[in-house]
Structure 1
């Protein structure tokens, strides 16, 4: 375990010691194949900490990092941890309004950004900020081009991120109790909260995951493909560092690049979305030849059967659970479980007995028995500190016993694992029964005319009624509501039959660190409007 005192400095120091003792595995391998040894990375971190110090960043300052999965992201994270600064992680897909919210909420003193990538000119997006509401933002720095070539913004000169050992050394101010990370919540609102973690929680979780998931095996190799700006990308990376497994960096998600990296380097550990695994399987089944665990989160409706088929062929797919407040890969379904069970979200917490989970019936307020569905609550030494500068939201989410109330629906199994079913707001209580909308969606998706289906609930005459939205498999032959309703009536209990089936071109989505998420709230609004218009006709 390399986070010996639960600080980033201890993690790096232990990797350097292991290297000197004969462990020749690199800590990172860049996209072009360059191996970065622990000693070399330590030098880069020291130079980065000195650069931050030279630019006036001190303990407690917030540094917004707006970068893809580059080595510089990790250099900045470890350097900020050393001097006691806090990284505010920014999604590279965000645009000006979302960036402004994070800068304002975090009170970031410095923003470090990429000049441009294949999709975005970041300097232009920054130029559109309303600097009048960002009084704490004093410094801007660019990592991949000469900052002097970029025009100043709001009278702030653009620095070039150029760590240099000649800048000297910085004072170590970070401790296990020092805050280190601010993540945005991954909900679908326009104003996500900022989740704050300290170094202790990060270190404990990295150690737990390294041991629980085999990152400490001698042949373990991890591909970092999910963005570092979210817990799903960052937590497995830190677990690999804790376990001694080399981290292979892909700065962008490109499926052919991913497959090539996996095959060329015998990658054993992969974490990503359900859609990612489907794409890999379709293109090159041999990519899984060395896989020991393929942890996934379900972001794409309608892929359940395809994943079951892939798992049946021997791919070690395992469902996960995570949240910004608890970290990603908080739990993983054991690979020893039958396929149907191990493809469910949830699983066994990496922290073992140190993580306590209970399920509450929100109507009665009582705790649920095993196999009884309710809202999940968590208490673990890796829980977040709170929402940054938002005491009201913090007090609503963490109770007096220290449990985080997740608003996620699930249940406990009798083997010590748990199952995550859906967000509480996505579950429907129909005729008094708590109903997973997937039950309805899967029935409707059996019709060949339907590519994907999403079901939401709306109130009609004092009762919650389901409404289905479908995307056509063939735009020239759209699904017929009468046909789909007939199938639903023949298959489902009467209260699960949709009130309406509405054909749309695409589901409304929002960008998160893990990819696009469907905005159920917007679908509910559309369903209400559709229902009202039909009543008046």
Structure 2
């Protein structure tokens, strides 16, 4: 079965979000939410209804609507509808608590927030109750999905766009206005808001579909990442652009992910290493996913190389990739022809043929040669418009010739691909050399008795030295023996000045998965050294 949707005038509307769904031949259905199919024609109708509903709430050009929802069809319809009206969607992470929600609402100036009535253990009403109205003066009210209202201080309406509103008239659909705001890690003042236009989103989605050679009749996506982050949204838009079916999890859980992968012949999925690890752990089948072609993954946890090897042996091919809110996720990905060791590394080949990647030596300020580590800089059609209402931060992030300073450390491979190594804040300058923590962590994990390891740099008697935290397999670890082995394997400046055994690493939840809190580890290291 195929949907036939009236094609748009591509010469005038080539880079709109609407252009992504205006495909003559596409898989049927476009989406499957909790087993319920939604065709492209049905989705187009929902977008028109939602645009009319937003207009009925007084939302128009330049107005910001915060969306605090799990993955559901309303989320996507709101984005596409806002694009129709020239409005802006501010994506709110469902893991956020009151201070984070208040910061986003204040910086974005959102006048309306679309929010879940309830979802599992998340108490949206209680979180909102901790936000004073004078903290977010622009917010006029809430639109509630799944109920008429939620308790609290803000006026509420029910989000009933799909039930009562007729299609909206066509709007100007300006493709270069801001349409979507992501949060990104920022200063101590709180996250910055990364602004993207329809042009940046739609062009990159088309690049993803083309680079992955997606066939709408053969390929399908399991969308298990949250739409509020660029990783989840970019993979979603890429498969919409391809016309392929997208099976959606409202929020990640390993058991339903396993069921969809097994039952629906899914060919592609994207997620964190921890997501794929948890799915694999639920099945004893030697090769449980015979239809999987690409699982793009971000390595947030120790042991990702071991996971990749196990997954490969069991028919779950993991592909390293790279992205950020500023240049969008799936900016690059490994290729099937890459050697396994290269394929599982972060980085890869840019999706867009127009993208440019260079590396700048952080010591000299000059561009680095192939194989030399430095800060990754990117110029690409997927690059953001800027930080919303923050021109100073935008100026600091963009070079004079238009490259985004990523704040990530990596190196060029010399064949058109690049390798992501670590965040600049995590990279260590030891003995006058730039060192990625992973190099030392891998050596530690190769030592007998070490289950996991994390390495951070601290100032020790005026010199930058590294400190290791390790989790033991069983029993006690001989730290002297570990140090002796490392001295045999590594340059002296890379050998940890201290090795501390811990039961677990401090972690934090993000939109895309659980991450190690390296700043907390640095603080722990300094406290322990001071106590000596």
Judge conservation of contact 2:61–2:86 (CA < 8 Å) in 1. Answer: yes
Matched, 1:27 2:30: yes
What does 1:29-428 correspond to in 2, within 5 Å?
A: 29-31=32-34, 33-147=35-149, 150-153=150-153, 156-163=154-161, 164-167=163-166, 169-186=168-185, 191-284=190-283, 285=285, 286-352=287-353, 354-428=354-428
Q: Which residue of 2 aligns with 1:5?
A: 14
Alpha-carbon distance, 1:103 to partner: 0.7
Aligned length: 520
Alpha-carbon distance, 1:426 to partner: 1.2
CA deviation profile, 1:354-396 (whole Å, cap 9, x unmatched): 0011111011111111111111100012100111111111111
Gaps of 5+ in 1: none
1:121 and 1:532 map into 2 onto residues whose CA distance is 41
Secondary structure of 1:288 counterpart:
coil
1:413 and 1:422 map into 2 onto residues whose CA distance is 16
CA deviation profile, 1:19-72 (whole Å, cap 9, x unmatched): xxxx551111111x2211111111111111111111111111111111111111
Distance 1:217 1:528, change over 3 A: same
Alpha-carbon distance, 1:492 to partner: 2.3
Judge conservation of contact 1:376–1:406 (CA < 8 Å) in 2. Answer: yes
Judge conservation of contact 1:280–1:287 (CA < 8 Å) in 2. Answer: no
Q: Which residue of 1 aligns with 2:431?
A: 431
Judge conservation of contact 2:292–2:315 (CA < 8 Å) in 1. Answer: no
TM-score, reference length from structure 2:
0.93
2:473 and 2:27 map into 1 onto residues whose CA distance is 51
Q: Which residue of 2 aligns with 1:468?
A: 468
Judge conservation of contact 2:321–2:332 (CA < 8 Å) in 1. Answer: yes
CA deviation profile, 1:168-214 (whole Å, cap 9, x unmatched): 52551332112111001146967111111110000000000001113
Gaps of 5+ in 2: 1-6
Judge conservation of contact 2:322–2:332 (CA < 8 Å) in 1. Answer: yes
Judge conservation of contact 1:333–1:347 (CA < 8 Å) in 2. Answer: yes
Judge conservation of contact 2:71–2:248 (CA < 8 Å) in 1. Answer: yes
Secondary structure of 1:257 counterpart:
helix
TM-score, reference length from structure 1:
0.93
Judge conservation of contact 2:16–2:202 (CA < 8 Å) in 1. Answer: yes
Q: CA RMSD in A?
A: 1.9
Alpha-carbon distance, 1:480 to partner: 4.2
